[in-house]
Chains A and B, each alone.
Chain A
Amino acid sequence: DTGVSQDPRHKITKRGQNVTFRCDPISEHNRLYWYRQTLGQGPEFLTYFQNEAQLEKSRLLSDRFSAERPKGSFSTLEIQRTEQGDSAMYLCASSHGTYNEQFFGPGTRLTVL
């Protein structure tokens, strides 16, 4: 399967702990996006990479959040000192080409106790 993959699929953590999520995009897709989705809402943009360069970050991405895409392939999203409000589904998407059709992974569901 050559779709977008995310790991882990589920993460339960205690408030104050750090967590890291991984996203593997479709190979050769040069763009990679992170979104956050809470129950009953559409995804909200967090950040975007073109190759290894992080080109845009949402105001939703506080100082506790950091994302990397070191070799322009997979990406990681780290949340430090997690808070209960961080509980959400974290979605990764990738795209390429002129029209930016985005393909999503299955998501990582984070629960902060």
Chain B
Amino acid sequence: KQEVTQIPAALSVPEGENLVLNCSFTDSAIYNLQWFRQDPGKGLTSLLLIQSSQREQTSGRLNASLDKSSGRSTLYIAASQPGDSATYLCAADYNNNDMRFGAGTRLTVKP
């Protein structure tokens, strides 16, 4: 069964701290892995997509890594800001059309 797990479910950090969000998936035969941000009551905003052949992707203060052999991806956020407060979701895409989501990590960055 293809499952995606995100730990921790919630995280609270002071402003300026660097942090890592974790995502694990049970089947390493993924097509790609995508990280999203979701604000309360809103849709999902795509942050980064890592192709199965890649090890990492970077966008601004965000860096996502992918280790297919261990079934893990991490999202690193540098110098966190209160505006980063949101739920972060990872999704593993199997077969190029079967995307499985984790339940998300709810991040709070305190001023």
Known: A42-B89, A48-B97, A99-B49. A104 touches B103 (CB 8 A): no
Residue of A nearest to B36 (CB): A104
Interface centre among A4, A44, A93, A100 (most CB of B within 10 A): A100
What CA separation (Å) do A107 and B43 show in the bound complex? Answer: 6
In this complex, how many residues of chain A approach chain B with their Cβ under 8 Å: the count is 25
Structural contact, B93 and A100, CB atoms closer than 8 A: yes
Nearest Cβ in chain B — how far from A100, in angstroms? 5
Q: Mark B74-108, 1 if CB is under 8 A from A, else 0.
A: 00000000000000010101001111111110000
Structural contact, B101 and A104, CB atoms closer than 8 A: no
Main secondary structure of the interface of B (DSSP, over half): strand
CB neighbours (8 Å) of B104 from chain A are: 42
Residue of B nearest to A41 (CB): B103
What CA separation (Å) do A93 and B96 show in the bound complex? Answer: 14
Nearest Cβ in chain A — how far from B39, in angstroms? 10
Structural contact, A99 and B51, CB atoms closer than 8 A: yes
Interface residues of A (CB under 8 A from B): 4, 6, 31, 33, 40-45, 48, 55-56, 91, 93, 99-107, 109
14 residue pairs of the A-B complex, CB under 8 angstroms, read A4-B43, A42-B91, A42-B101, A42-B102, A42-B104, A48-B97, A100-B32, A100-B93, A100-B96, A101-B46, A101-B49, A104-B43, A104-B45, A106-B43
